Amino acid sequence: MASLDRVKVLVLGDSGVGKSSLVHLLCQNQVLGNPSWTVGCSVDVRVQDYKEGTPDEKTFYIELWDVGGSVGSASSVKSTRAVFYNSVNGIILVHDLTNKKSSQNLYRWSLEALNRDSSPTGVIVSNGSDYDREQFAENPVPLLLIGTKFDQIPESKRSEVLTRTAFLSEDFNAEEINLDCTNPRYLAAGTSNAVKLSKFFDKVIEKRYFTRDPSQMTGFTDRKRFNFKSLHYD
């Protein structure tokens, strides 16, 4: 097979939210039978047909970098992860829909990845009042928000949880997908989730290879600095 152009997408979120299961499902179209903790970083590859079904269709590799989910304050942990944040073209933020804290911590993860010279330790951000959404409106790196364990949310709580994820999606200026990583039907061809996923990967490819200034997407050297305020969840 001829060598394909590729893009690098980080998969970030707390330990236990299901990042490895998600990556395996995205790349192998199979459920991961015995998931384990990721130490450091694990990389898998997905094939993406950019602009599928059009005259501009072209096949790319999507490298999905599953970064270990420890959010400890040790500088050595964060400096080790910083190596994985170089030359990133897109970011998937993953949270456990049954664990509100994992949703809160997505702000910490995004701060760490997009502004490595700042410390995420102790930063808690709310779903509204003092958060400046325009910071992410100017972010050149495409983001996608994925909530896992959707099947474990009681019917009586789903409306509340989905309202919370909608706020997250708005804060990050990103599309949201909610699913169960043990059920491939959530990403079956033709579903709204599959369409959102394909559009996200196409956007990553578009910005990396077809933007007028692709240098903006090969790293964070010239990125705007993201300064998060110290806030609190209601």
**pLDDT tens-place string over residues 104-141:** 999 989 988 987 544 444 334 444 334 455 656 667 89
Do the beta carbons of residue 95 and residue 177 sit within 8 Å?
A: no
Predicted local confidence at residue 33, as pLDDT: 80
pTM of the model: 0.83
51: left (phi over 0), alpha (psi -120 to 50) or beta: left
Domain span including residue 140: 6-117+131-210
**Does a structural domain hold residue 87?**
yes
DSSP 109-133: HHHHHH-TTS--TT----SSTT--T
Number of domains within the chain:
1
Percent pLDDT > 90 in the chain is 63
**Does a structural domain hold residue 46?**
yes
What CATH number did the domain enclosing 79 receive?
3.40.50.300
What angle is formed at CA 80 by the lines to CA 181 and CA 124, rounded to 5 degrees? 65
